[in-house]
Structure 1
């Protein structure tokens, strides 16, 4: 299983960067996890529109979904003969679903479906299950396994919900670390790098990849803060592909 970091910043991207998005690939399956600003352009460097299996959306905040509306036009232009791309998203009963709804033009190429948070879902060899996170908008962490290797993506979360049981024993934990201790005061629904590392330590994961950085957060400081708690921690690098 491979995971490529399409974007690592929030709530906006600095020059040359992108907001949250990941591409998970295994045995011909290609899953896009979230799709913030800048991610669809980078997605095309890794996988053809015809070969994208699905998109899984953790929650409906703009920094995680703003690029996804463009997928209908990408498919219409580059893969008009493919089956409609399923986009699974939570909380579709709210008005915020309009940000993902395809236009009348795009309905031929996109299918918007509820995220199966209770039963999970399978794509080829990949099984995906979900856990609610500590975030103001209903948000869901994802656990992806091929039966041998396991990836866990926290999406957006604070430390108020314990995700350690959900992440237990993962080969790679991708955890949000919006802040470091020095700039993490007065926050809701987000973690510091130290809190992400503490989650990794308690969950007994093998490696920790820090992501979801506020652009003003010093990355080297975030890495140092995390490694003081969990030595196998590093900051996600955009457009780098990691072996799970």
Structure 2
């Protein structure tokens, strides 16, 4: 399994990086996880639009799904006879995004598979187990498993007793670390800190952490240091171009 970061900034893209986006590859199968703002240009540095085999969306906030729309346009307008792209998302989460284009333009470019957070299903070569995690809208954290390797991904989440189960013995945990140590009151319960990620990853035996969804302007080293107070394994911030290969 090879994981490549396309973006990892919270809320809106910056000059050097987009929002959430991860390309996950195994034996020629290419899964795009959370195509947020400004991730499509990064994706196209690695693969053409028609080479993506499926898309997984954790929730409907645009910093996690907005670039699905231009990806569908690219597929529809370059090859109208190409196969539809399987898109997996919680019920209703993509309805506003898919409705913004002219009627019918991208309809044949995708097949929507809605799942309820908590479901387990096959997605290409991956077995996907999902959890409903606390956020402002329904968010599906997930474990992607193949050939004994595990990628765990929180999407956006507040503290939850299921997070150690999601992260249990994962080879890589990509985790919401919007803030360093303290979540402001207005976001409490719906977003996480790097310090919290370090604590539950340590208890879960996670092998490696990528901190993602850092609020714009956050000092990346401060986030890494906060996670390391409780977690002794490797910690990185998810920045475009960061890759990991799990043999």
Determine the C-alpha separation between the residues in 2 that align with 1:114 and 1:126. Answer: 17
Alignment of 1:40-119 (within 5 A): 40-92=40-92, 97-101=95-99, 103-115=103-115, 117-119=117-119
Alignment coverage as a number of residue pairs: 241
1:24 aligns with 2:24: yes
Instruction: Classify the secondary structure of the residue corresponding to 2:14.
Output: coil
What is the aligned partner in structure 1 of residue 158 from structure 2?
A: 158
- Is the CA contact 2:17–2:239 (under 8 Å) kept in the aligned structure 1? no
> Over the residues paired in the alignment, what is the CA RMSD in angstroms?
1.8
Determine the C-alpha separation between the residues in 2 that align with 1:80 and 1:198. Answer: 48
Determine the C-alpha separation between the residues in 1 that align with 2:78 and 2:214. Answer: 32
Residue 60 of structure 1, CA deviation: 0.6
What is the aligned partner in structure 2 of residue 145 from structure 1?
A: 145
What is the aligned partner in structure 2 of residue 213 from structure 1?
A: 214
Q: Do the aligned partners of residues 79 and 198 (structure 1) sit closer, same or farther apart at CA in structure 2, a change above 3 Å counting?
A: farther
Instruction: Classify the secondary structure of the residue corresponding to 2:203.
Output: helix
Unaligned runs of 5+ in 1: none
CA deviation profile, 1:73-122 (whole Å, cap 9, x unmatched): 11024444421112111131x7x612134641111212222035444222
Unaligned runs of 5+ in 2: none
What is the aligned partner in structure 2 of residue 242 from structure 1?
A: 244
TM-score, scaled relative to structure 1: 0.92
TM-score, scaled relative to structure 2: 0.91
Alignment of 1:218-233 (within 5 A): 218-232=219-233, 233=235
- Is the CA contact 2:202–2:232 (under 8 Å) kept in the aligned structure 1? no
Instruction: Classify the secondary structure of the residue corresponding to 2:42.
Output: helix
